[in-house]
A and B are shown apart, each in its own frame.
Chain A
Amino acid sequence: MDERTRRNHLLVWLLLLGLLGLNIASSFLDLGIFNPILTTAVAALQAFIIVTFFMSMRSAAPVPRIAAAAGFFWLLLMIGLTLTDYQTRFEDIALGRLASKPGWEAPAAGRVPNPLSESGYSPVSRPPTLAAAAPDAASGERVYASVCILCHARGVGGAPRTGDKAAWLKRSEQGVDTLVDHAVNGYKGMPPKGGHPELSEQDVRNAIGYMLYAAGIQSPRR
């Protein structure tokens, strides 16, 4: 084992450890979106170094090189094409913009809410037997669709109408916790929990969150 290759390998090893240190250090800085990009780029560099030096790709025949490159290329191809779906899921709001003016003002540009984050649905986690147990609390949108819609859709009895930004803005000033408290214990025309005692407080909080988002209020005060 001639001395030169051995020294080379030690140098490569030190370089890899250095990059690892850099990666860990970078995670202590708050660079926002650049953190994941930087760490992945450093990892890719480490990978490239390992492939070229330790896996003797430098001296290999062309065909194994193509095979190695194909593995990574196909992975990027798969991720890239799938992202065309996930990064363009603006649901109805954007689509509204496509055809004509949307029903309610589109929320603040840029941060279009990904409905996935308010997901949640209600099956039993284990496969249901014949007597399917009653599903438990639904997500904000679903609670709204099954309960709150009765009054809030058309503002029955003075209730703030869904999508009426002014009414909801005035109420969101009091902070979400007060809104939840009013909704749970009943307030003026509204029966406690909208007449559905079986709703949990988290459901009511989700439903209020949905109505705020539908009214275009992005980050109401706590």
Chain B
Amino acid sequence: MAGMDAVSDTPLLPQASTLAERVDALFFTLVGVDVVMVLVLSGLIVGFAVHYRRGARVNRTTDAPETKTEIVWSLGLLAVFLAIFVWAAHLYVEEASPPNNALEIHAIGKQWMWKFQHQNGRREINELHVPLGVPVKVVLATQDVIHSFFVPAFRVKQDLVPGRFRTVWFTPSRIGRYHLFCAEYCGLDHSRMRGRVIVMEPAEYEAWLADVSAEPSPAQGEKLFSSLGCIACHGAGSKVAAPPLAGIFGKPVPLKGGRTVIADETYIRDSILTPEKQVVAGYEPIMPSFAGRVNESDLTRLIAYIKSLSGEEGRP
């Protein structure tokens, strides 16, 4: 996530979903009401304080009817706020009921990254491509603690509660790249659990979706290497005893039990899917199996990355 490019052209808080305008309208009405109230009250306070300051010769016989003014003031207050309540509640109910023809995307929140899976099985990590103008319903699930799917530009937020499926829906109305935040505290790297929502033209989106066999590039491999947690053990400076991966590709690797094997692509593939079968000599079999967590294209990207670590130029 370090290389997040600053998005220059979009304003600080774009209205990028059909909902955004309506939430903004409600919010600025409320801000308007607040400003008027603050001005009225501080005006009263400052006015009275100055006009009736000690030593000023003014008429001070008190005759204000107390309870009547209070009641009028309270009822007026209540009327304004009830109107706002109804408006907000209407928007809230609509916001929570996705249209049934919405494009369904599955999202899994895992400690400190977002995994998305589109209808045709295309997966992406920390990035969500969505078509313009099509209602999108994201089905949210979490694998560990409570996270919260928050896209400020769409004005939507929904917590991911472990044990249940939550849904959030929006209809993107503006092309661009927008922030995706995790809004509920979820541990060490809560502030780094950020991503991007990329709104594309529908045609462009279909093309992107179909392009499943995107070329595995070391860069994508590196991103997977960190998001899947490999870097936690195999990265430099990690406290966990795990075999270093730099420069091992193509070299012989001594295994526990005396065997030696060449670290080729199948060795790396097997070490990822079934690590306990080939434990490097001098190490404990603590590596978890990533079977079911990575699919073929992920594996190819990871292998390309590990190759790039040993100076072997991975396939372009």
Contacts and interface: CB of A to CB of B under 8 A. Distances in A.
- Chains A, B in direct contact (C-beta < 8 Å): yes
Given A145-B141, A198-B291, A132 B164 contact: no
A196 B292 contact: yes
Contact of B239 (A95, A128, A130): A130
B142 A198 contact: no
A119 B288 contact: no
A31 B238 CA distance: 61
Interface in A200-220: none
Interface residues of B, number: 41
A61 B93 CA distance: 48
A22 interface: no
Contacts of A101: 100
Interface stretch (A46-54, A74-82, A147-155, A181-189): A147-155
B229 interface: yes
B163 A119 contact: yes
A56 interface: no
A121 interface: yes
Given A96-B97, A98-B97, A115-B164, A133 B288 contact: yes
B97 A99 contact: yes
B47 interface: no
A198 B141 CA distance: 21
B97 A198 contact: no
B290 A119 contact: no
A98 B121 CA distance: 30
A175 interface: no
Contact of A141 (B93, B141, B144, B145): B141
| Majority SS at the chain A contact face | loop
Contact of A121 (B94, B142, B239, B290): B142
A131 interface: yes
Interface string B276-299: 000000000011111111000000
A103 B100 contact: yes
A157 interface: no
A122 B143 contact: yes
Contacts of A122: 143
A204 to B, nearest CB: 13
Interface in A84-108: 91-92, 95-96, 98-103
Contacts of B229: 131-132
B185 interface: no
A145 B100 contact: no
B99 interface: yes
A141 B161 CA distance: 14
Contacts of B232: 130-132
B79 interface: no
Contacts of A139: 163
A131 B97 contact: no
Contacts of A153: 119
Nearest to B289: A134
Contact of B288 (A120, A134, A146, A199): A134
B106 A145 contact: yes
A18 interface: no
Contacts of A141: 141, 165
Nearest to A104: B100
A139 to B, nearest CB: 8
Nearest to B142: A121
A38 B145 CA distance: 39
Interface of B: 93-94, 96-101, 106, 108, 111, 117, 119-121, 139, 141-145, 162-165, 167, 229, 232-233, 238-240, 242, 286-293
Q: 5 closest Cβ contacts across the A-B interface?
A: A99-B97, A119-B163, A134-B288, A103-B100, A95-B97
10 contacts: A99-B93, A120-B163, A121-B143, A130-B232, A132-B229, A132-B232, A135-B143, A138-B143, A149-B106, A196-B292
Given A99-B93, A123-B145, 5 more contacts: A91-B164, A116-B164, A123-B162, A130-B232, A135-B143
Interface of A: 91-92, 95-96, 98-103, 115-116, 119-123, 128-135, 138-139, 141-142, 145-147, 149-150, 153-154, 196-199
